[in-house]
Amino acid sequence: MKRRDFLKLSQAASLAYMINGSPIRTLASNPVLELLAKQTATSGRVMVLIQLIGGNDGLNMVIPLDRYSELSAARSNILIPSTKVLALNGSTTTGLHPSMTGIRDLYDNGLMNIVQSVGYPDPNFSHFRATDIWMSGSDSNQFINTGWLGRYLDTKYPGFPSGYPNANMPDPLAIEIGSRTSTLFQGADVNMSMSISSIDSFYNIVNGTVDPAPNTPAGHELKFIRYIKQQTEQYNNVIQKAASLAQNKSPLWPASGNRLADQLKIVSRLIAGGLKTPIYIVNLGGFDTHSQQTDATDTTIGNHANLLGWISEAVAAFFDDCKLLDTHERVAAMTFSEFGRRIKANASGGTDHGTTQPLMVFGDGVNPGIIGKSPTLPANASTGDNLPMQHDYRTVYSAILADWFQVDTNTMNQILMKNYQIQPVFKKTIDVADTSEYGSDDILGQNYPNPFTKETTITFGSEGGLTTIQLFDVNGRLVNNVLQKEMSRGKHQITINRNGLPPGQYFYKLTNGRNKSTKRLVIAD
């Protein structure tokens, strides 16, 4: 297969075939599975990134109860009283800031994963540079002018923007709301994202209105150009259509005043309205809390508490909305900031720029729980002390690429420029322990030859329509999208090239409408 074709095939991220660890076969009549099967043909997974601008104080958000005395010593002036810390179901070591009841509920319901102490070696303390590092996926001393998601989209949608939109991808590859983040979606040649500059401009698009202009010749022409611009901007029509097909449903959405919720309301509508856009980024500013991080007399309220409350309220409403709109199975979200903050509070009732931070990942697809331990704190932290790194941020990016978007290993290594460990943030998409899932040979025949060294042929049946065959390694990781194509009804054959895969045992899986079948094959030298 040519690399280009290969990349094209890799575009088609498949869906969660497995729910809560149960093998698919037993779920054949489950309505959730039917929904998923439907979605396989029409849409894919979505990742919503929530950027917390300014450097979020992770220690007051995800609170290490098992390090509470060190924490008290370091930041008594902003310390959250242990009695007020929200307990997490099943955890004695970790709690949440008292304003985050909505997120606490997500955790307790098994819809959240926390990755502790995420950062990178030789951390940078500048907002700009640190943001660029997180956006580009670079090392601290490495300058990369493309974004990690720009590179991902480059491999998934080669050649963009030439030939786009098209029938396979009629929608924006990525949508940024509220702000244009400079490098995240920068591909090798172009920025791959559509930017909706403000909440107002989104509603202008949806309603076909433009900002008011004076009743003068200049205003007359300005309005004319704005209309033409709005109506001809490449993706405005699909945005308008998607927004018209779905309304927000959750009663949890705050009435007003929560900027993050306002953005996530839009995202939820667009996902439910059928946009195939796989990535969204929204943001909330104000985390640069050098002073007055908390109220002077009550440390559970104040600036940082408000911010965390907004996140909690917005994220909880968002996932409730997704549930009510039946999109929750395929939506995940993750918070991140350019850095965490210092262990020791300063005398202004705030914290200065720090290093690592906890990441919060949400959604039905995440492995519930906490990855890593509470950060180690010195007994008496000094001003210069920082949180040591437990997890490189790119090990989380790997999880998003490999386990959420099902990017094959080689492509992922190219995107991240190194081979990173994959944090178990997400559930596996195929249960390789389940060898009982052998379907009829009419649906999926045994490959021949087997074992093989160079190439092998698979016979399979299709009822017509979208038919996919994927190859997984023994760890359940997708290694090759063998086929993703509209097929006619009947018997077909496809030949797989080894494509440099190491010898060993693999699984190949066919999906066609409700038919699914998995068989084992062996590659030998």
Partner 1 sequence: MGKVNRREFFEEFIANKAQQTGTTSLAEDPIYNKYANKERPRGLAKTTGTLSKYTGQWTENEVTHLLRRTMFGVTYEDVVAFKGKTMEQCVDELLSTQAKPYPPLNNYQTSTYTDPTGVLLDQPWVNAPYGDSTVNSKRRLSMTSWWIEQMLNQKRNITEKMVFFWHNHFATEYIVVAYAHMMYNHHNILRDNAMGNFKKMVRDITTDPAMLRYLNGYLNTKTAPDENYARELFELFTLGKNYKPIYTEDDIKAAAKILTGWRYRTSDWSSYFSSGLHETSNKKFSSFFGGVTINGRTGTDGAKETDDLIDLIFTKQEVAKFIVRKLYRYFVYYDVDFNTELNIIIPLAQQFMNSNWEIKPVLETLLKSDHFYDMLSQDCFIRTPVDYVIGTFRTFDIQLPVSWNSDNRYKIYNYLRYYMGLLGCEPNLPPNVAGWPAFYQEPDFYEKWINSTTMPRRMEFMDLMLGSGFSAGTGTAIKIDPMHLAKKLPSPGAGDPNALIDFYVDLLLGIGISKTLKDQLKISNLLQGQSQDYYWTTAWGTYLGQPNTTNTNLVKSRLVSLLTELTHLAEHNLC
Q: Please, are residues 507 and 519 in contact by the beta-carbon 8 Å criterion?
A: yes
Helices 101-108, 303-324: axis angle to 10 degrees equals 50
Which residues are registered as beta bridge partners of 335?
A: 50
Nearer Cβ to partner 1, position 223 or 373? Answer: 223
Of these, 38, 84, 226, 498, which contacts partner 1 (CB under 8 A)?
Answer: 226
Number of H helices, E strands in the chain: 13, 18
- Taking CB under 8 A as the rule, does residue 204 contact partner 1? no
* DSSP per-residue string spanning 5-56: HHHHHHT-------BTTB-GGGGTT-HHHHHHHHHHHH---EEEEEEETT--
Nearer Cβ to partner 1, position 218 or 474? Answer: 218
Of these, 182, 303, 306, 450, which contacts partner 1 (CB under 8 A)?
Answer: 182
Tell the smallest beta-carbon distance from residue 141 to partner 1 (Å). 9
- Taking CB under 8 A as the rule, does residue 31 contact partner 1? no
Three-class SS string for 197-218? CCHHHHHHHHHCCCCCCCCCHH
Nearer Cβ to partner 1, position 225 or 296? Answer: 225
- Taking CB under 8 A as the rule, does residue 524 contact partner 1? no
Looking at residue 66, the DSSP 8-state letter turns out to be: G
- Taking CB under 8 A as the rule, does residue 234 contact partner 1? yes
45 vs 204, 269, 329, CA distance in Å?
Answer: 27, 15, 8
Tell me which residues in 287-346 interact with partner 1 (CB under 8 A).
288
Choices 122-130, 362-370, 372-380, 500-508 (CB under 8 A): range interacting with partner 1: 122-130
Place of tokens 């010593």: 73
Task: Give the helix/strand (H/E) hosting 130.
Answer: helix 127-136
**3-class SS at 69?**
helix
Tell me which residues in 140-169 interact with partner 1 (CB under 8 A).
143, 145
Nearer Cβ to partner 1, position 31 or 217? Answer: 217
Of these, 198, 300, 450, 499, which contacts partner 1 (CB under 8 A)?
Answer: 198
Of these, 76, 209, 231, 382, which contacts partner 1 (CB under 8 A)?
Answer: 231
Nearer Cβ to partner 1, position 233 or 486? Answer: 233
- Taking CB under 8 A as the rule, does residue 229 contact partner 1? yes
Q: How far is Cα 512 from Cα 468, in angstroms, rounded to an integer?
A: 7
Q: How far is Cα 201 from Cα 207, in angstroms, rounded to an integer?
A: 10
- CA 438 to chain centroid, in Å, comes to 32
- Taking CB under 8 A as the rule, does residue 183 contact partner 1? yes
Choices 11-19, 49-57, 268-276, 469-477 (CB under 8 A): range interacting with partner 1: 49-57
Q: Are strands 369-371 and 112-119 parallel, antiparallel or unpaired?
A: parallel
Tell the smallest beta-carbon distance from residue 284 to partner 1 (Å). 9
Q: How many of the other CB atoms lie within 10 Å of CB of 376?
A: 12
Q: Total residues contacting partner 1 (rule CB under 8 A)?
A: 45
- Taking CB under 8 A as the rule, does residue 225 contact partner 1? yes
Contact positions vs partner 1 (CB under 8 A): 51, 53-54, 126-129, 131-132, 143, 145, 178-180, 182-183, 186, 189-190, 195, 197-198, 214-222, 224-229, 231-234, 283, 285-286, 288
